[in-house]
């Protein structure tokens, strides 16, 4: 087995919720095989507290998340990305910078929990978490080293279509209490 660590950048417009959760999830489930980052095209400047609360509730290490611009990952000296994955539809439609390393790009759309009505936001964050967690668990199991670039690109893109968007997920609050 290779000791190579694969860099993955998760993009969302504001880099305050979905991409932050995806970064934490991949760093947790990637078990040293992946190094995840997140950024946004128009960063909010702060991480949504419900994103942090959701990660903590689900026992995923949060680290020190920050809302940052995707520009810093396109600058000289930035880590070469192996994968760039958009998690919101707005970021997927934007013209992205040229990423060093010619990464595989994919879109894994997840409904924006911030746009849910205030009384539904906590459930919306948990639902977004569930979708991201399921996709990331599938992603980390891919036999990356044994797939051709084309096959790998296809599989990574298919992950985004495997599961419904988060607003379609039914969630029971005690799911993680076992």
pLDDT tens track, the chain, 178 positions: 468 999 999 999 999 999 999 999 999 999 889 999 999 989 999 999 999 999 999 999 998 999 999 999 988 888 999 999 999 876 556 666 767 778 999 999 999 999 999 999 999 999 999 999 999 999 999 999 999 999 999 999 999 987 654 444 433 333 444 3
DSSP 3-state of 102:
coil
Which residue range(s) make up the domain with 71? 6-168
Identify the pLDDT of residue 164: 56
**22 within domain boundaries:** yes
**115 within domain boundaries:** yes
Residue 71 carries which DSSP code?
G
C-alpha span between 145 and 152 (Å, rounded): 9
CATH number, domain with residue 113: 3.40.50.2300
**173 within domain boundaries:** no
Q: List b or e across 72-97, with b for residues whose CB sees 16 or more CB atoms inside 10 angstroms.
A: ebbeeebeebbbbbbbbbbbbeeebb
C-alpha span between 86 and 11 (Å, rounded): 5
- At residue 10, φ and ψ (nearest 5 deg) are -100, 130
> What contacts 61, CB < 8 A, 6 or more positions away?
24, 27, 28, 55
Question: Which H/E stretch holds residue 149?
Answer: helix 149-162
Find out whether 20 and 110 touch, Cβ atoms under 8 Å.
no
- At residue 165, φ and ψ (nearest 5 deg) are -65, 160
Identify the pLDDT of residue 96: 65
Q: Which of 74, 96, 123, 138 is the catalytic position?
A: 96
pTM, whole model, 2 decimals?
A: 0.88
**174 within domain boundaries:** no
Identify the pLDDT of residue 100: 72
- Element counts in the chain: helices (H) and strands (E): 5, 4
Number of domains in the chain: 1
Task: Examine the residue annotation and report whether 144 is marked as an active-site residue of this protein.
Answer: no
Q: Which of 9, 60, 88, 124 is the catalytic position?
A: 88
Task: Examine the residue annotation and report whether 12 is marked as an active-site residue of this protein.
Answer: yes
**177 within domain boundaries:** no
């Amino acid at each position: 087995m290779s000791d190579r660590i694969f860099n993955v950048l998760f993009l969302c417009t504001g880099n305050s919720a979905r991409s932050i959760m995806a970064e934490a999830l991949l760093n947790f489930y990637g078990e040293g095989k992946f190094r995840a980052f997140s950024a946004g095209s128009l960063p909010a400047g702060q991480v949504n507290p419900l994103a942090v609360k959701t990660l903590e509730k689900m026992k995923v290490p949060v680290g020190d998340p920050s809302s940052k611009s995707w520009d810093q990952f396109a600058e000289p000296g930035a880590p070469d990305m192996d994968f760039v994955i958009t998690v919101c539809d707005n970021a997927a439609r934007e013209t992205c910078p040229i990423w060093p390393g010619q990464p595989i790009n994919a879109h894994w759309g997840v409904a924006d929990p911030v746009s849910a009505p205030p009384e539904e936001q906590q459930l919306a964050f948990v639902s977004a978490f569930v979708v991201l967690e399921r996709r990331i668990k599938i992603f980390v199991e891919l036999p990356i080293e044994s797939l051709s670039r084309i096959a790998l690109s296809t599989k990574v893109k298919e992950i985004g279509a495997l599961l419904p968007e988060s607003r379609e997920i039914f969630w029971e609050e005690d799911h993680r209490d076992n």
